[in-house]
Amino acid sequence: MNEIQSMMTGVIRENRKVASDQFMMTVILPPSFPIPAPGQFVMVREANRGEPLLARPLSVYGFQKQDDHAVLELLYRLAGRGTILFSKMKPGDEVALIGPLGKGFTIPEGLTRVLFIAGGVGVAPLIFLLQDRFLTAETEKGKKPIFYLGARNVNLLVGLERLNGLCDLKLCTDDGSQGYHGPVTELLKSEIEGYDPKETVIFACGPTPMILSLGRLLKDNPIPCQVSIEERMACGLGACLGCVVAIRGPGRKREYVRVCLEGPVFDLKEVLPTSSVDMQGSENES
């Protein structure tokens, strides 16, 4: 089971549309809610009617602790029944939350070049990581983090107000309505030779086609890359085995892991093409 976990009721302070199919929910929680690490997630459901029956996993987008309460921010895309239900909730409504859960991103020592690769709402845990660990916008040798952010079109690029000024922001859209015309991985491919593998790390989160494309791009490249992968979850606690995926373990041996417990962040080189559920959609956004 996840060691640091807590089930709590939170009260929605705000739940607003930030793009055509994306919402941001701000939840007020008791001050005892544990401080999440970037890359960790919470399991969320409506508190009183208990819907959806199975809570849904959402990454932490923002978190602030005050003396008498904590503020948790979630960014979510309408995918199906559960997230549509969340989008209809109003300020004052209550959510039941378990978390923070899972293993987040690991920050290597002595970094000089940090790259973020995000597709769609995959931006959520990466913005939290950037703000929580790289707020000065400078790594040790003074190079600004580079943030590649992709979406289907300009109207679906979210989080820009949080990123501006903190990083060198490179936008990509499938239809060319803003920034580079094409997937984030294509832009990265054209620039990757400029990055020294010995001083670079990549943090990535996005739809499965983006993660798979990143895997192909970095197959023979030693730049370390940590990715947050998505898998359907029932308990989020390591108990139901509903989120088990195969990864490439030590010695390239196939191993089975629970995404909710051993992940959701993995070394990209461990991720197999079958490691995640949703194989459809564009690289910038599923």
Ligand X SMILES: Cc1cc2nc3c(=O)[nH]c(=O)nc-3n(C[C@H](O)[C@H](O)[C@H](O)COP(=O)(O)OP(=O)(O)OC[C@H]3O[C@@H](n4cnc5c(N)ncnc54)[C@H](O)[C@@H]3O)c2cc1C
For ligand FES, the binding residues (CB under 6 A) are 233-236, 238-243, 258, 260
With CB under 5 to 8 Å by kind, the binding choice for 56 among ligand FES, ligand X, none is ligand X
| C-beta separation of 167 from 147 below 8 A | yes
CA-CA distance, 236 to 43, in Å (whole number)?
A: 7
DSSP H helices in the chain: 81-87, 123-133, 160-163, 184-191, 208-217, 259-262
Q: Is 83 in the site for ligand X (CB under 6 A)?
A: yes
- Scanning residues 142 to 181, which ones bind ligand X (CB under 6 A)? none
Kindly tell me which of 224 and 281 has the beta carbon lying closer to ligand X: 281
Nearest-approach distance from CB 88 to ligand FES, in angstroms: 25
Q: Which of 232, 239, 241, 273 binds ligand X (CB under 6 A)?
A: 232
CA-CA distance, 233 to 242, in Å (whole number)?
A: 6
With CB under 5 to 8 Å by kind, the binding choice for 216 among ligand FES, ligand X, none is none
Kindly tell me which of 55 and 171 has the beta carbon lying closer to ligand FES: 55
Tokens of 240: 């139901």
- Scanning residues 8 to 37, which ones bind ligand X (CB under 6 A)? none
Rg (CA), the chain: 18
Kindly tell me which of 159 and 264 has the beta carbon lying closer to ligand FES: 264
Kindly tell me which of 129 and 223 has the beta carbon lying closer to ligand X: 129
Q: Is 2 in the site for ligand X (CB under 6 A)?
A: no
CA-CA distance, 9 to 97, in Å (whole number)?
A: 6
In degrees and rounded to multiples of 5, residue 16 shows phi and psi of -125, 155
| C-beta separation of 130 from 123 below 8 A | no
The footprint of ligand X (CB under 6 A) covers 41, 52, 56-59, 75-77, 79-83, 121, 124, 230-233, 264, 277-278
